[in-house]
């Protein structure tokens, strides 16, 4: 009977938790997808790239909102069980409060491991895959991406301006600036222009204009009736190299060991972090702690939620107590994120930050152990 009761309360918690996690992540994903749509449009990316990119950010959103949704879900379900007198059934069937604590604590450890897998492998892989779509995709300048009377600087060292666009998607009064330095640039003016695709090449055809260029303080002037601007193989302003947060934890460890020369193997070709050097060490350590240390605050949150079973709804301050538990849990989530700010190159400092969640787990668990065992032995 005890196993049935344990499975029921865990099942209720999991159902509420999974549903709440999905819809919370979905709402945030929708808002982010809208923001990314603007970026993709400005960057001239294909709509299929946009869809793939936005879908691949979903695991990252889940990993971010999981602790908060976890706290909210378990507080809600445990409170509901107390208000509906279902916890009394547990106590009447001989379930001790400490056995309930142990059962949920074991579950929180499993969830912690899953969160570590999510943040250490799945999220970096999906983030890298999302970024790879940008790295491998060509800039796709559909005519709608160039908006009249607006400067478009999507491509590095290239700015395009158009005064107007007609119904046939022909642009007029076009200005194009190439180059970023004062002594090496070109400015092209054309009365008309349109985008055409020739095979795999994207061409911006320009008509009736002139190009003024400056190279080493020498000015050139060239008039034309027709000129083609090839948009293939141009690099956009979007960052496309692999960032620290887009590599797996295993690669972070390899990079850390390489920086400190812990072993003689030449891993320079195997390590996929662009900034795998001493100057980027602090970011590497922060990313490592975010993935490995922060998930261990999940058992802390679980034990905080279980503080609700210390008292019952008969206590006149029960609802205030429940609110206090929620705010303590919220404070723990904030602390778990703030600790990352104190990560530096000091081994002792990082070690202290690493053991903080384990200290909190020990304090909370021992508090409940002595409290419940003392009460139940009476």
Confidence (pLDDT) at 378: 47
Lowest pLDDT segment from 239-253, 292-306, 324-338: 239-253
Residue 23 has pLDDT above 80, yes or no: yes
Residue 198 has pLDDT above 60, yes or no: yes
With the C-alpha atoms ordered 87, 89, 92, 98, is the resulting torsion angle positive or negative?
negative
Residue 237 has pLDDT above 60, yes or no: no
Residue 259 has pLDDT above 70, yes or no: yes
Share of the chain above pLDDT 70, in %: 82
Residue 12 has pLDDT above 80, yes or no: yes
Confidence (pLDDT) at 236: 57
* Rounded Cα–Cα distance for residues 320 and 72 (Å): 16
Question: In which band, very low, low, confident or very high, does the pLDDT at 70 lie, cut at 50, 70 and 90?
Answer: very high
Mean pLDDT for all residues in the chain = 81
184-198 and 201-215 strand pairing: antiparallel
Mark 292-314 as b/e (b = at least 16 C-beta within 10 Å): bbbbbbbbbbbbbbbbbbeeeee
* Rounded Cα–Cα distance for residues 235 and 316 (Å): 66
Mark 126-153 as b/e (b = at least 16 C-beta within 10 Å): bbbebbbbbeebbbbbebebbeeeeebe
Residue 325 has pLDDT above 60, yes or no: yes
Are 171 and 143 within 8 A, CB to CB?
Answer: yes
Confidence (pLDDT) at 94: 85
Q: In what order do the strands lie in the sheet with 218-230?
A: 158-165, 171-181, 184-198, 201-215, 218-230
Residue 327 has pLDDT above 90, yes or no: yes
170-179: per-residue pLDDT in tens? 888 888 888 7
Note if the pTM is more than 0.75.
Answer: no
Question: In which band, very low, low, confident or very high, does the pLDDT at 17 lie, cut at 50, 70 and 90?
Answer: very high
Residue 110 has pLDDT above 90, yes or no: yes
Confidence (pLDDT) at 229: 79
Confidence (pLDDT) at 266: 45
């Amino acid at each position: 009977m005890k196993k049935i009761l344990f499975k029921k309360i865990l099942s209720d918690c999991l159902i509420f938790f999974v549903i709440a996690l999905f819809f919370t992540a979905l709402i945030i994903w929708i808002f982010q997808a809208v923001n990314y749509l603007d970026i993709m449009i400005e960057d001239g990316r294909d709509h299929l790239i946009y869809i793939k990119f936005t879908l691949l950010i979903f695991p990252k959103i889940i990993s971010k909102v999981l602790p908060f949704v976890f706290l909210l879900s378990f507080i809600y379900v445990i409170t509901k069980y107390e208000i509906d007198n279902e916890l009394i059934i547990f106590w009447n069937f001989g379930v001790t409060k400490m056995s309930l604590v142990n059962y949920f604590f074991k579950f929180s450890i499993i969830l912690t491991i899953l969160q570590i897998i999510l943040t250490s492998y799945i999220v970096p892989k999906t983030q890298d895959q999302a970024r790879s779509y940008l790295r491998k995709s060509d800039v796709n300048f559909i005519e709608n991406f160039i908006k009249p009377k607006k400067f478009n600087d999507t491509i590095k060292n290239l700015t395009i301006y158009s005064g107007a666009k007609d119904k046939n998607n022909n642009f007029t009064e076009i200005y194009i600036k190439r180059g970023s330095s004062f002594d090496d640039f070109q400015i092209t003016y054309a009365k008309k222009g349109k985008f055409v695709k020739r095979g795999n090449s994207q061409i911006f055809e320009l008509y009736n204009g002139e190009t003024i260029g400056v190279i080493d303080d020498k000015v050139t002037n060239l008039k034309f009736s027709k000129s083609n601007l090839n948009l293939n193989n141009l690099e956009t302003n979007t960052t496309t190299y692999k960032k620290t947060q887009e590599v797996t934890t295993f690669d972070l460890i390899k990079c850390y060991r390489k920086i400190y020369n812990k072993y003689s193997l030449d891993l320079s070709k195997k390590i996929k972090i662009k900034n795998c050097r001493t100057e980027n060490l602090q970011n590497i350590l922060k990313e490592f702690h975010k993935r490995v240390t922060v998930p261990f605050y999940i058992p802390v949150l679980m034990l905080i939620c279980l503080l609700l079973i210390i008292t019952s709804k008969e206590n006149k301050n029960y609802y205030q107590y429940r609110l206090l538990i929620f705010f303590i849990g919220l404070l723990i989530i904030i602390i778990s994120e703030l600790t990352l700010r104190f990560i530096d190159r000091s081994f002792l400092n990082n070690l202290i930050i690493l053991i903080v969640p384990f200290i909190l787990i020990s304090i909370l668990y021992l508090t409940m152990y002595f409290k419940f065992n003392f009460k139940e032995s009476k």
